Amino acid sequence: MGLAIKVTIAPMLRALPLALALAPLALLAKPSQPQTQDEIFLAARAAARAGDYDKLGKYEARLQGYLLQPYVEAWQLLPRLEDAAAEEVRAFLAREQGSVLAQQVRKEWLRALGKKQQWDLFRAEHPLLAGDDNEIACYALQARWQQKDESAPAEVRAQWYAPRELPEGCVPLAETLIAQGRFTSGQVWERIRLLLEAGAVSAAWRTAEYLPPSEALNRGRLFAVAAGAQRHLDDKKKNLSPRAARELTMFALHRLARTDPPAAAGYWDRKLRARFSTGEQGYVWGQLALHAARRNLPEALEWYGHAEAAGAQLSEEQLAWRMRASLRQGNWGEVKITADTMSPLQRNEPAWIYWQGRAALALGNAAEARTLFARIAGEHHFYARLAGEELGLAFNIPPKGYTPTAEEVAVIARTPGFQRALALYRLDQRPESVREWIWSIRGMDDRQLLAAAEFARQNEMFDRAINTADKTLALHDFSVRYLAPYREALGENARAQQLEEAWVLGLVRQESRFISAIKSSAGAAGLMQLMPATAKWVARRMGMQGYSWAQVTDTGVNAALGTYYLRHVLDDLDGNPVLAAAAYNAGPGRARRWRDTRPLEGAIYAETIPFNETRDYVKKVMNNTMYYAAMLGGEVRSLKARLGIIAPRGGNDRAMAQRETGQEEAQ
């Protein structure tokens, strides 16, 4: 499927020791003393992580001229940034100018300079930083404030209303606003609510220290509510006159609603509501509605109505889930009302454009629906495909817009950032490799991106090839966007399990981007990202002799285990690929529970999956399947037909869930 361009690797990359390409073997051998430069580099990495800087210095001396030597130099410099002379840091930045490593060191140096309030140096270096982060942005505001820039303190509001710990650099500015009365106690409470909603109880307590004495929050009671919301709500004698007491009760209702919205609503009866202001009632109804919608409960829309009647200002998340609750109930009028309530930015997200179009169609506004569908139908995502089908557009793979020349790919191969990315990739230093790659493709046009994608494909960096080809805007190569390495193993096992090959490839593209040795932070491994318990269970069911976990990254073994499990899940879930994809990501029990009491359109089921990761996963797997089916020349079915209708929950769902053998937890 890919191009067959041959590239002569640049001398610098060609000179890398043979052990670089054989890094996995070198790692297995574990020599007592590192011999090759690759081994020395990995040993230096281990020394840096262990904080053994004497050993690190010795390794660094042995890596002069090595492609990745600047990393070792940076590992020595980073722990000393607070005390290092400016000349030393600037010398490193000059040597590594233009590299991602220089940007990482500059970012850490700016943090150190801000912490020490060395504002002259900070102001000189800050403009040279590509990108920013919250902490450095706060120090930049503080640097402006030191120069009497009165607009700086006001700009801390964006940080104040973020549901996370306030960066250290913004604390003095926030305290200034509070002391000057420009942040009221009401705004302190708003931040406390945001933090409590996010589960950041300790950060909420630290924010509560800014409250006036008359509104002080009791630390013990706050953490008691976090630990046992229902126990707090059961106390009928509590005095709700102080605002702090009402806020604690609202927090308890929110906390309980996360796991049991009807139980929380049961406490929120007329008698309790009467002790709260209209605005407070609106806030509580909004929280109850959000969590009911996330659990696909029919009460959600009614509770949203109560929140709206009380004048609540719903957040973007609450509006998104109001839209999903409306879809779940087939209430197209409410879909339109919710879309009209959204901000222009949110309303113009592809998902909501599509569902606005569907609402217009259902409400008899065909011309408006066509206009909405046409806005996204030319794109290549899940909702673009559905919109195209509503317009009756045939599904075609976009023609190849450009084929990079051998010289264009060779230019990529000679670029230091790509050389480092490849070297780190082969040494299984994946996070660093990805950072080098992302930094190196920034600002590239479509032709350069396709050349970089081809370089990645040739070097079996399949994830980088796919992700890079995915970024083109006008010139595309879908044979790289939808690579199919290991197709022989995946296709053979798919056929053996009577699974559609395109669907299996679409799932693997989403799971691992065809990186056979990849391991997730959760412990899943291989092409089909199998968890240890799942792989062991499947191997036993298959009668696989001599299976061990070490085999799971073997492409043939992983494909056999993964497709067998996928077949098992598919059979267990009505043969519906949408349910099976959801189950593969989040567990069969959850996929069942997310069904409705009535038949549900597959696209609505996908949109109303409560887990953000799984919702995105299912859409992408199904969209991937469309492209692989077209590229493999198989049956071209519409996406809507593939999504199908999700059967309602059955009475035996609980019994089936009890028969699960641990796969849900594993996946």
Q: What's the confidence (pLDDT) of residue 651?
A: 52
* pLDDT of 27 above 60: no
The answer to whether 308 is a known catalytic residue is no
**Count of structural domains within the chain:** 1
Kindly report the length of the chain.
Answer: 667
**Which residue did the predictor score with more confidence, 665 or 172?**
172
Residue 336 domain flag: no
Active-site position among 390, 408, 454, 511: 511
* pLDDT of 381 above 80: yes
Q: Pinpoint the alpha helices (H) of 198-269.
A: 201-208, 219-227, 229-234, 243-259, 261-267
Cβ–Cβ < 8 Å for 592, 656: yes
Residue 45 domain flag: no
Q: What's the confidence (pLDDT) of residue 21?
A: 37
Q: What's the confidence (pLDDT) of residue 591?
A: 97
Residue 482 domain flag: no
Residue 659 domain flag: yes
pLDDT digits (tens, 9 = 90+) for 141-165: 999 999 999 888 888 999 999 999 9
Could you tell me the pLDDT band of residue 24, with boundaries at 50, 70 and 90? Answer: very low
Query: What single-letter DSSP state applies at residue 660?
Result: -
Residue 639 domain flag: yes
Helix (H) and strand (E) counts in the chain: 44, 2
Question: Residue 422: what residue type?
Answer: L
Calculate the CA dihedral of residues 176, 179, 184, 188 and round it to 10 degrees: 60
Question: Residue 325: what residue type?
Answer: A
pLDDT digits (tens, 9 = 90+) for 227-280: 999 999 999 888 999 999 999 999 999 999 999 999 999 999 999 999 999 999
Cβ–Cβ < 8 Å for 383, 351: yes
Structure tokens at 449: 């991106």
Residue 503 domain flag: yes
Mean local confidence (pLDDT), 355-384 = 98
Rounded CA separation 517/552 (Å): 9
Rounded CA separation 2/481 (Å): 10
Parent domain of 521: 487-666
> What percentage of the chain carries pLDDT values higher than 90?
87
Structure tokens at 636: 């071209």
pTM, two decimals, is: 0.90
Rounded CA separation 379/489 (Å): 31
Residue 604 domain flag: yes
pLDDT digits (tens, 9 = 90+) for 307-354: 999 999 999 999 999 999 999 999 999 999 999 999 999 999 999 999
Q: What's the confidence (pLDDT) of residue 528?
A: 97
Could you tell me the pLDDT band of residue 385, with boundaries at 50, 70 and 90? Answer: very high
Structure tokens at 113: 């300079």
Could you tell me the pLDDT band of residue 132, with boundaries at 50, 70 and 90? Answer: confident
Query: What single-letter DSSP state applies at residue 600?
Result: E
Residue 315 φ/ψ region, left for φ over 0, alpha for ψ in the -120 to 50 degree band, beta for the rest: beta
Angle at 650 between CA 645 and CA 656, to 5 degrees: 110
Q: Domain of 636: which CATH number?
A: 1.10.530.10
Residue 538 domain flag: yes
Q: What's the confidence (pLDDT) of residue 652?
A: 52
Cβ–Cβ < 8 Å for 166, 159: yes
